[in-house]
C-alpha cells in the first residue's frame, strides 16, 4: 500500500491508538536490580560514580530489597565486597562470606517474595582484581573453574535462587552445573554472562564493587568489542554446557549482538544495562541535557525491542515505580 491509500499517521492519532498497536512494552516483571553488599559497619555508602546507587551492609540491604519489592521488581542480582582480599579470592566461596551472609538474611526476611540471583566471579575477592587464579601474570582458566564451582555451590547452599557466572572462563557453566547438580540442586538455574565484552562502560561498576584489576586488563578473557560472530559461538557453548539463560553485556552498545542472539537461539535472553550506561544517562539528565524519565524508558525499551526477555538495570526501581503510576 502507498500514500494516500495507506497513511501510517492514522495509527498515531492519539495515545489510546498508539498504546493499542505498540509492539514493545516494558513491565517490571522482566527487570532485575543489581545490589552491592559490603562487609562494613555503615548501613549504606553512596557510590560517587553512580548517583543514586549505594553499597549496603547486610542489614542495610534488607531495606533496599523492601524498596525493590515496593516498586514491583521481582529480582535482585547480588554482588559482594569482602573486608579482606587474597590471591585466590577465598571470600568468594567462604560459607560465611559477604554474599552468603546477605543471601541468608534476604531469604530469611523475604522468602519467596524476592528472586535472589548471585553474581559468581572472583574479581571482587582477589587482591589483584582479576577474575581468577593468576599464574605468571595470566589467569589460569582450569584452576579458576574449581573455585567458581565452589563459589556457586556456596551461594546455592546459602539460599540463592539462581547463579550468574560473569568471569568468562572457558567451561565455567559446565563446571558450575555439574557441581550444583552433584549436590542435588538440579532446579537452580544458571544465568550465564555468555557474551561479555571488554568494554569501556564498566568504570563506575569497578568503583562500586572495588574490583579494578591491579595490573593489566581483562582482554584475555572478556570478548573483543569488534566481534559479533564470536559472541554467537560463546552463547552456543554455554547453552551446550547447561546455561538456562544467557546474558549479553553491555546492552546499548551491543544491541546488534542481542538481536542476532534473539534470532539464533530459542532460550531466555538477558541484557545487562551496565554502570556506564546508567551513569551516562544520570549525569546527562543532571546537567539538563536529557529528560531522565524519557531517556530511561526509551533506552530500556530499545533493549527490549532488540530481543531481551530480561533486563538487568540500575533503573529498575524507577521503571517499576513509573509502571505502578501508569506513566510508562
Q: Which residues belong to the active site?
A: 196, 249
Distance CA 74, CA 222 (A): 29
Alpha helical stretches, state H, 14-97: 15-20, 58-70
Residues with Cβ within 8 Å of residue 124, at least 6 apart in sequence: 79, 80, 81, 82, 85, 89, 92, 209, 210, 211
Distance CA 210, CA 312 (A): 20
Compute the radius of gyration of the chain from its Cα atoms. 20
3-state secondary structure 257-296: HHHHHHHHCCCCEEEEECHHHHHHHHHHHHCCCCCHHHHH
Residues listed for the chain: 328
Strand partners, 55: 36, 45
282, 52 in Cβ contact below 8 A?
Answer: yes
* H/E run at residue 138: strand 138-140
> How many angstroms from the chain centroid is the CA of residue 46?
20
* Residue where the block lists cell 546537567: 287
Distance CA 39, CA 106 (A): 15
Kindly tell me the sign of the dihedral angle through the C-alpha atoms of 50, 289, 15, 306: negative
Apex 310 CA angle, 141 and 80, nearest 5: 50
The widest CA-to-CA distance across the chain, in whole angstroms, is 71
Amino acid at each position: 500500500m502507498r500514500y494516500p491509500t495507506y497513511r501510517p499517521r492514522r495509527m498515531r492519532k492519539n495515545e489510546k491508538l498508539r498504546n493499542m498497536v505498540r509492539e514493545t512494552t516494558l513491565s517490571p516483571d522482566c527487570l532485575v536490580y543489581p545490589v552491592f553488599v559490603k562487609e562494613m559497619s555503615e548501613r549504606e555508602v553512596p557510590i560517587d560514580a553512580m548517583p543514586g546507587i549505594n553499597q549496603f551492609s547486610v542489614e542495610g540491604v534488607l531495606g533496599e530489597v523492601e524498596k525493590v519489592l515496593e516498586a514491583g521488581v521481582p529480582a535482585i542480582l547480588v554482588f559482594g565486597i569482602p573486608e579482606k582480599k587474597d590471591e585466590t579470592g577465598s571470600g568468594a566461596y567462604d560459607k560465611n562470606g559477604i554474599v552468603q551472609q546477605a543471601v541468608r538474611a534476604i531469604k530469611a526476611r523475604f522468602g519467596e517474595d524476592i528472586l535472589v540471583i548471585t553474581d559468581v566471579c572472583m574479581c571482587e575477592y582477589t587482591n589483584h582484581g582479576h577474575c581468577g587464579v593468576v599464574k605468571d601474570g595470566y589467569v589460569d582458566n582450569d584452576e579458576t573453574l574449581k573455585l567458581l564451582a565452589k563459589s556457586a555451590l556456596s551461594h546455592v547452599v546459602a539460599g540463592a535462587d539462581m547463579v550468574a557466572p560473569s568471569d568468562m572462563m572457558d567451561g565455567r557453566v559446565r563446571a558450575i552445573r555439574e557441581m550444583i547438580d552433584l549436590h542435588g540442586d538440579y532446579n537452580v538455574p544458571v544465568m550465564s554472562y555468555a557474551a561479555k565484552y571488554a568494554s569501556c562502560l564498566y568504570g563506575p561498576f569497578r568503583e562500586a564493587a572495588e574490583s579494578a584489576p591491579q595490573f593489566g586488563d581483562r582482554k584475555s578473557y572478556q570478548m573483543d568489542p569488534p566481534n559479533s560472530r564470536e559472541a554467537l559461538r560463546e552463547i552456543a557453548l554455554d547453552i551446550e554446557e547447561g546455561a538456562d539463560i544467557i546474558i549479553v553485556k553491555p546492552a546499548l552498545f551491543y544491541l546488534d549482538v542481542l538481536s542476532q542472539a534473539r534470532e539464533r537461539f530459542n532460550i531466555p535472553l538477558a541484557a545487562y544495562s551496565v554502570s556506564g550506561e546508567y551513569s551516562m544517562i544520570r549525569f546527562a539528565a543532571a546537567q539538563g541535557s536529557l529528560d531522565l524519565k524519557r531517556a530511561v524508558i526509551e533506552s530500556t525499551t530499545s533493549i527490549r525491542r532488540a530481543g531481551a526477555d530480561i533486563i538487568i538495570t540500575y533503573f529498575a526501581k524507577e521503571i517499576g515505580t513509573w509502571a505502578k503510576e501508569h506513566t510508562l
